[in-house]
């Protein structure tokens, strides 16, 4: 009697969809905790015991008193009194954080370091989650891209001096996340996205709007159809409502306050440092180049002058562009559109070597009707996000190709 033994079926070969999906949540959370801890320790090591001057001293030193003054335009505590610019923008999330820190008697310098570390961690985790959601890159390359985004020069130049300016870019990936989730209806996705926008703060309206530009481009790059129309129809009014807490006081400031824009930096100053290479690597912030015997922004000066930082950031930007040039990169239409639009905005006013042909006209616009957006470096956040996603894809594709060629 002969017995026939059936061979077991071959193991299923995982598809791209199965292997490129997001990792388990706990793994990402462990990376988040580890990354935050490293950043926090590094920040503590910089002049421990000494506080920084983070834009408005009253926010960190006397947050409860600062909060009590937000209900009126006139503030009599500074100088001889006056109408202060966009004080209401600190109402969320920066002021509540420092209020809680003051409530538990946390030393100001320690609260500042904790606040900065949380912003960097938010940027890291958001970029990681977005790369997972868009299925860009592999597990390791996503971590690399998220780290690159959180430490991109556009953030590191300002995190220790004007941390509120880093908030819009840090929360940009989080605004995009609900919109990229097909499990939600268009209405739910748009409303969940709008709920994140207040966390960008309202200290500088131009910074918030500049960081929302890639979100608008994402919506416009969706496939034509009912979902795109519904996303735009819900997201637009939701944005107006989500930002009303700072743009309504801003309108009142425009009526009763003084227009100081003609008396501050000119468009030539803000565009002189925005060459193509500086725009791509995130080092175009003109304030970072100020040096009066000592650096105005120490971290910014490092971004502008350190050979190591320049080489590393330029390399990351170049690899990101190479990744976006590949035809197999997910969301290629949106990513390329974001790079083209933001790069055009950033370098259009640059008049240096190989500068834009119509930079004079653009500078006149920035000194005129576009003066609120004169500090064009604020648009670098969207470019940074697109480049790190390109970096994730390039490194992930290279690792996959190398693994495929490896003999079994």
In tens, the pLDDT along 243-286 reads 999 999 999 988 888 888 888 999 999 999 999 999 999 999 99
* Residue 64 burial (CB count, 10 A): 12
pLDDT at 1 over 70: no
In a domain, 121, yes or no: yes
In a domain, 3, yes or no: no
In tens, the pLDDT along 340-358 reads 999 999 999 999 988 889 9
pLDDT band at 15 (very low <50, low <70, confident <90, very high): very low
In a domain, 220, yes or no: yes
pLDDT band at 27 (very low <50, low <70, confident <90, very high): low
In a domain, 14, yes or no: no
Domain count, the chain: 1
Q: What is the mean pLDDT of residues 168-193?
A: 98
In tens, the pLDDT along 228-240 reads 999 999 999 999 9
* pTM (two decimals): 0.91
Instruction: Give backbone dihedrals phi and psi of 74, rounded to 5 degrees, phi first.
Output: -85, 130
In a domain, 30, yes or no: no
Q: Could you tell me the residue range of the domain that residue 316 belongs to?
A: 36-43+51-67+85-257+266-397
pLDDT at position 254, please?
87
**Ramachandran assignment for 54, one of left (phi > 0), alpha (psi -120 to 50 degrees), beta (any other):** beta
CB 107 within 8 A of CB 214: no
pLDDT band at 408 (very low <50, low <70, confident <90, very high): low
CB 124 within 8 A of CB 35: yes
In a domain, 180, yes or no: yes
């Amino acid at each position: 009697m002969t017995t026939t033994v059936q061979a077991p079926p071959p193991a299923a070969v995982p598809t791209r969809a199965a292997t490129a999906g997001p990792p388990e949540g706990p793994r990402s959370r462990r990376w988040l905790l580890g990354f935050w801890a490293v950043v926090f320790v590094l920040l503590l090591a910089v002049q421990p015991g000494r506080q920084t001057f983070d834009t408005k001293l009253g926010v960190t030193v006397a947050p409860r008193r600062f909060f009590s003054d937000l209900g009126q335009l006139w503030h009599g505590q500074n100088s001889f009194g006056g109408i202060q610019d966009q004080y209401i923008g600190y109402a969320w999330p920066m002021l509540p954080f420092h209020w809680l820190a003051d409530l538990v008697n946390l030393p100001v310098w320690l609260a500042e370091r904790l606040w900065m570390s949380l912003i960097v961690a938010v940027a890291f985790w958001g970029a990681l989650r977005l790369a997972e959601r868009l299925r860009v890159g592999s597990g390791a390359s996503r971590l690399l891209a998220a780290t690159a985004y959180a430490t991109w020069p556009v953030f590191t130049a300002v995190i220790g001096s004007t941390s509120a300016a880093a908030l819009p870019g840090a929360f940009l990936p989080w605004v995009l996340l609900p919109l990229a989730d097909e499990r939600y209806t268009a209405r739910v996705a748009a409303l969940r996205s709008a709920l994140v926008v207040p966390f960008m703060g309202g200290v500088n309206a131009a910074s918030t709007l500049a960081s929302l530009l890639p979100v608008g481009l994402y919506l416009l790059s969706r496939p034509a159809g009912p979902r795109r129309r519904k996303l735009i129809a819900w997201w637009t009014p939701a944005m107006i409502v989500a930002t009303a807490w700072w743009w309504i006081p801003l309108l009142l400031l425009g009526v009763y306050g003084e227009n100081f824009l003609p008396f501050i930096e000119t468009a030539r100053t803000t565009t002189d440092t925005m060459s193509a290479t500086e725009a791509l690597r995130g080092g175009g912030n003109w304030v970072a180049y100020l040096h009066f015997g000592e650096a105005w922004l120490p971290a910014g000066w490092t971004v502008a002058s350190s050979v190591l930082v320049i080489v590393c950031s330029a390399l990351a930007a170049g690899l990101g562009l190479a990744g976006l040039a590949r035809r197999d990169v997910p969301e290629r239409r949106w990513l390329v559109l974001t790079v083209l639009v933001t790069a055009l905005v950033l370098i259009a006013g640059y008049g240096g070597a190989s500068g834009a042909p119509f930079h004079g006209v653009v500078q006149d616009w920035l000194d005129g009707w576009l003066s609120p957006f004169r500090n064009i470096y604020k648009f670098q956040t969207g470019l940074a996000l697109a480049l790190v996603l390109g970096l994730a894809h390039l490194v992930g594709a290279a690792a996959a190709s190398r693994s495929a060629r490896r003999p079994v």
